[in-house]
Amino acid sequence: MMKRSLVLTWVIFVGAAACMPSPARPSALVLVGCLGLVVGVAYWFSKLRCRPWVDVLIAGAIALVVLAAVIPTMARARHLAVRTSCQSHLHQFALALAAHCSTNGSDLYPMALTGLSSNDISPLLFICPGDRDARNAPTVATAGPTASYLYIGGLGPKSRANVPLIICPDINHDGKGGSVLFCSHEVKWIRKREFDELIDWTYAYAESNGLRVVVSDALTKRSKGRYKSRP
Domain boundary among 77, 100, 123: 77
**Counted domains in the chain:** 2
- Using an 8 Å Cβ cutoff, are 73 and 15 in contact? no
Q: Across the chain, what does the average pLDDT equal? A: 81
pLDDT, tens digit (0-9, with 9 covering 90-100), for 100-111 = 999 999 999 999
69 and 116 both lie in a single domain: no
Q: 51 with 101, same domain? A: no
| CA–CA distance, 122 with 202 (Å, rounded to integer) | 26
Identify residue 54 by its one-letter amino acid code: V
Compute the distance between CA of residue 212 and CA of residue 153 in angstroms, rounded to an integer. Answer: 5
| 65 located within any domain | yes
What are the tens digits of pLDDT across the range 109-161?
999 999 999 999 999 999 999 998 876 777 887 788 889 999 999 999 999 99
Count of C-beta atoms within a 10 Å radius of residue 183? 20
Of residues 114, 104, 119, the one with CA closest to residue 166:
114
DSSP string across 91-144? HHHHHHHHHHHHHHT-SS--SSGGGS-TTT--GGGGS-TT-SS----SSGGGTG
Tell me if 227 is assigned to some domain: no
Q: 197 and 179 in one domain?
A: yes
Residues 135 and 176 in one domain: yes
- 73 and 85 in a single domain? The answer is no
Do 66 and 92 share a structural domain?
A: no
Q: For 199-229, what is each residue's pLDDT tens digit? A: 999 999 999 999 999 999 999 999 999 999 9
Same domain as 176, residue 95? yes
Among 77, 110, 132, give the residue marking a domain's end: 77
Note whether residue 229 is domain-resident.
no
35 inside domain: yes
Same domain, 135 and 148: yes
My answer on whether 89 and 69 are in the same domain is no
Domain for residue 230, yes or no?
Answer: no
The answer to whether residues 107 and 201 belong to one domain is yes
22-48 pLDDT, tens per residue?
443 444 555 555 555 555 655 555 555
Q: Are residues 44 and 111 in the same domain?
A: no
Residue 73 shares a structural domain with residue 130: no
Rounded Cα distance, 163 and 188, in Å: 12
Residue 108 lies in a domain: yes
Euclidean distance between CA atoms 3 and 1, whole angstroms? 5
Structural domain of residue 146, as residue ranges?
81-222
